[in-house]
Structure 1
Amino acid sequence: MTKTITFTTVLLLSTAVAYAQPAQPPAGGTPGAAQAERPPQRERDPRTMGGGDCSANPYNCKDTPNPLPNNPSVFIEEMTWMDVRDALAEGKTTAIITTGGIEPNGPWLVTGKHNYVNRANCEAVARKLGNALCAPNIEYVPEGSIEPPSGHMLSPGTISLREDTFRAVLTDVAHSLKMHGFKNIIFIGDSGGNQGGQRAVAEELNKRFNGDAVVAHVQEYYTYGVVSEHMQKQGITEGKSDGLHDDPIITLNMFIADPKSVRYDERVKAGKATINGVDLSNRAKATELATKVVEFRAQYTADAIKKAIANKGTLPAPPPPTRLPGQ
């Protein structure tokens, strides 16, 4: 036992002495010489854009012509950075920020209902305006308390944001677009719970930007009562409500974006392609009506956007819209 302790003590002392010795410089130089010999970093080329360095490839330079034909899309996420740059230079300086939601919508409609609606409508609105692009849709919005669950959060599949998180996302997206040169930044939301946050953020940013860009919330996009009245003249007459978070207008608006989003083929096969007494099983007729829904909403919203831009900000809140069961 004594020998073991003595050996261990000697080993520990030897190790301590070794660590106490000053570090020896590398052969042929002094400490830090290797770092000092590194070439200085090259300054970033001020023309750099596109995710790389301008000096590495001319396609990373802000003034390099786009090597591809004009991109006809109005969705920023479907465009290259050069496409967006060129669109801005051509005068497409209005950006539309849509907000949707992930929530329960009965047995027929998928949880991304509002996001499908926005996909169809934003393109139509942008083309009506002629000088606009669609920012990526904001899919996650306030849907109720997360814990304990409330509102739509009581149903599986729902994803909710806190109100302050939602407003922070709106703020950063709008600010990003402003920094790239967009002069008019428009919020439109397809869900009732989105409206207050959009209005508050638009008003705050409009003050902060102080004329450098107009930020406006356009409430008129979310006026399903007006759309319903118009579509009654087009032949949609609802009967007794099915009591679902669904209705013919929003079903048709989703259908034009993607029939799968309303489980169309399965419903027709099962004899379930009706909502609130409106039969949608005739595909050609459903397509015709869906096109009219999008056309009306796009024109109504585009007109409201023009008024908001002329007003240099959000217009006074209109009377509360008639909120149908499906919205």
Structure 2
Amino acid sequence: MRRTVVALLALPLLTGSALAQATGTPGSAAQAEARRAAANKPRTIEGINTVWLEELTQPEFRDMLKDGYTTVLIMTGGVENNDGNLQMNKHNINIKLLGEMMARRMGKTLVAPLVTLEPGNAGPNIQPGRAGPMLSQATYAALLFDMGNYLRSMGFKEVFYMGDSGGNARGMQTAADSLTKLYAESPDRVVFKHIPEFYNHTSVVQPYIQNELKIPEGIKIGASSGTSGLHEELGIDATMALADPQSIRFAQRVKAGQAEINGIKFESLAWLQELGRKVADLRVTTAINAINAYRASLPK
């Protein structure tokens, strides 16, 4: 009796499979050809003004690629402990702001979906309230490798990796180097390059604030925390405030009399955002200059 029931239950599945083969359902050669034909049809509606790859329709992306949008940015951030005032997605807020600025300034450039997790080790212990989540270094490097590899298969000719967190550099460099080696003999030349100059909080932003703008922030150049004792600094507060004041809890800090960092009081939200514009422009300019220098070094 049990065999009979199993056989009867399987009949609809077999019948459905046979019907699918006969009528050309998804996965069949006819269906695949129909999708290819649809993908190559001229667009009948106007596209939107965006540099975010994920926001495009497939026909919009296809046409932008034909128009020379063959450069793509892989921006990496993370979720981590930023102490008492900043959201844990600090780096993700920065890369969303700066990624769009870079793509628009570079021209003919798109931004891949953001990599919003960074590498780290979970370990066996439970730590309630711990920041994260994070990925193992192996998983992280594999993710970045797969993203770059897939973007190559989509038709991009330049893939640039840039990260807002220092721990991301190893995985980005590994992915770029591995893909460069894998396709070294390919006639379809594609550039995979990690741009370490984008991570310039301490090397560029801190000297700019203290030496050029003459703002005496109480943080040693090269350090990640200053006199406030927090993993927080003025340049990062400024760009985050430009993107979203709530991300630094601006209103709450004003109310609590804590609108300051490392001895520098926030004169106003407008003042902080104006500083954010200057810092963002500096960071973007520094990274683009590095990309252009790399391009100039390549054989013609």
TM bin (shorter chain): 0.7 to 0.9
Equivalent of residue 69 in structure 1, options 46, 49, 68: 46
Q: Secondary structure at the match of 1:146?
A: coil
| In the alignment, structure 1 residue 223 sits paired with structure 2 residue 200 | yes
The CA distance in 1 between the partners of 2:16 and 2:90, in whole Å, is 60
User: Matched residue of 1:215: which SS?
Assistant: strand
Letter in 1 for 2:22: P
Provide the rounded CA distance (Å) in 2 between the counterparts of 1:256 and 1:86: 33
The amino acid across from 1:301 in the alignment is A
Q: Pick the aligned partner of 1:192 from 149, 154, 166.
A: 166
CA distance in 2, matches of 1:306, 1:280: 35
- Give how far 1:148 is off: 3.3
Please state if 1:276 is matched with 2:262.
yes
Residue of structure 2 equivalent to 1:164: 138
Aligned to 1:237: 216
Task: Determine which structure has the larger helix proportion and give its number.
Answer: 2
Distance 2:42 2:197 in 1: 39
Question: CA, structure 1 residues 93+34, in 2 after alignment: closer, same or farther (shift >3 Å)?
Answer: closer
- Give, in whole Å, the separation in 2 of the partners of 1:131 and 1:217: 19
Identity of aligned pairs, percent? 32
Partner of 1:181: 155
- Stretch moving more, 269-278 or 110-119: 269-278
8 Å CA contact 1:170–1:198 kept in 2: the answer is yes
Change (3 A) 1:207 1:266: same
Shift of 1:234: 2.7
Aligned 8 A contact 1:220 1:304 in 2: yes
TM value normalised by structure 2 = 0.83
Q: Tell me how far 1:294 sits from its aligned partner.
A: 0.7
Q: CA deviation at 1:36?
A: 7.1
1:97 aligns with 2:97: no
Give the CA deviation at 1:138. Answer: 0.4
Contact 1:253 1:294 in 2 (8 A): yes
Structure 1: segments with no counterpart, 5+ residues: 1-14, 24-31, 55-60, 314-327
Aligned residues: 275
> CA separation of 1:180/1:154 partners in 2, compared to 1, >3 Å: closer, same or farther?
same
Aligned to 1:40, the other structure's residue is in SS state: helix
Query: Is residue 146 from structure 1 mapped to residue 122 from structure 2 by the alignment?
Result: yes
Q: Name structure 2 gaps, 5 residues minimum.
A: 9-13, 25-29, 220-226
Partner residue, 1:202: 176
8 Å Cα contact 1:214/1:309 also seen in 2: no
Question: How far apart are the structure 1 equivalents of 2:17 and 2:75?
Answer: 51
Instruction: Name the SS for the 1:48 alignment partner.
Output: helix
Partner of 1:214: 191
Check 1:44–1:159 CA distance in 2 against 1; reply closer, same or farther (3 A cut): same
- Deviations, residues 179-219 of structure 1 (Å, cap 9, x unaligned): 11000001001111100111111011012122531000000
Give secondary structure in 2 for the equivalent of 1:127: helix
Q: Give the direction of change, closer, same or farther, for the CA distance of 1:200–1:39 in structure 2 (3 Å limit).
A: closer
SS at match of 1:44: helix
Residue 237 of structure 2: which of 251, 262, 282 is its match? 251
1:76 Cα deviation from its structure 2 partner: 1.2
Query: What is the TM-score of this pair, normalised by structure 1?
Result: 0.76
Residue 66 of structure 1: how far off its partner (Å): 2.5
Superposed CA offset, 1:34-55 (max 9, x none): 9878872432343625xxxx5x
Per the TM alignment, residue 237 of structure 1 is displaced from its structure 2 partner at its CA by 2.3
- Could you tell me how far apart the structure 1 residues matched to 2:128 and 2:207 are? 32
Supply the distance in 2 between the matched residues of 1:33 and 1:66 (Cα, whole angstroms).
Answer: 38
Q: 1:87 aligns with which of 64, 67, 73?
A: 64
Work out which of the two has the higher radius of gyration on C-alpha atoms and give 1 or 2.
Answer: 1
* Cα pair 2:145 2:178 within 8 Å, conserved: no
Aligned twin of 1:301: 287
AA matched with 1:199: Q
